[in-house]
Amino acid sequence: MSFGYDNLNVESISHQINVKLGRWYEPIKMKIAVFQKKVVRRSIPALIPIIIGSLIYILWRPLTIRIFSWLDIIGLSIAVEKLRKLSMSIYPYVPDWVVYSVPNGLWAFSYALIITIIWWRSESIVKYFWLGSIPILGLGYELLQLRGVIQGTFCWQDLNLCILGIGSGVITGRMVRRKEK
């Protein structure tokens, strides 16, 4: 039984679509490529604080937190163990607030930066949802710990560094967008 697809040639169909739609498809394809390059270039400054915050967790946080079971699943336990041993010589000089509060502030900065860069100059009403998500997610996490809704320990330092991270992320994101005018 044949459904008429015996001679289906995907490359031929793709070529026909490109020929018929080429006049307007090519400019759209170019705009998408430029947009993707801009997003990647804009995202790099936000990745650095995420990497630093993750390193702080991996190097000095207790082995009981969930990230270590994930690292074990993907086969990085031995590498993490070696890194932790190397970093233990400086651990006595690292203040507790750096180990336990700075990662939260760094992640809040990264999220605020990315969302601000993407949505600040948008004319879409959806931008208010995304910009509003910055304080809701950043501060909400700590406040939900305070109320006992989610697991964790509320800490004023975490909350303050989160506020600092959000504020500096939004300001930096606006500065980046202003330079692009």
- What average pLDDT score do residues 153-176 get? 94
Would you list the domain boundaries of the chain? 10-52+96-179, 61-94
CA distance 136 to 143: 10
Residue 2's pLDDT band, with cuts at 50, 70 and 90, is very low
pLDDT score recorded for residue 78: 93
pLDDT of 5 higher than 60: no
What tens digit of pLDDT does each residue of 9-38 get?
556 655 666 665 555 556 666 666 666 677
CA distance 131 to 115: 7
pLDDT of 153 higher than 50: yes
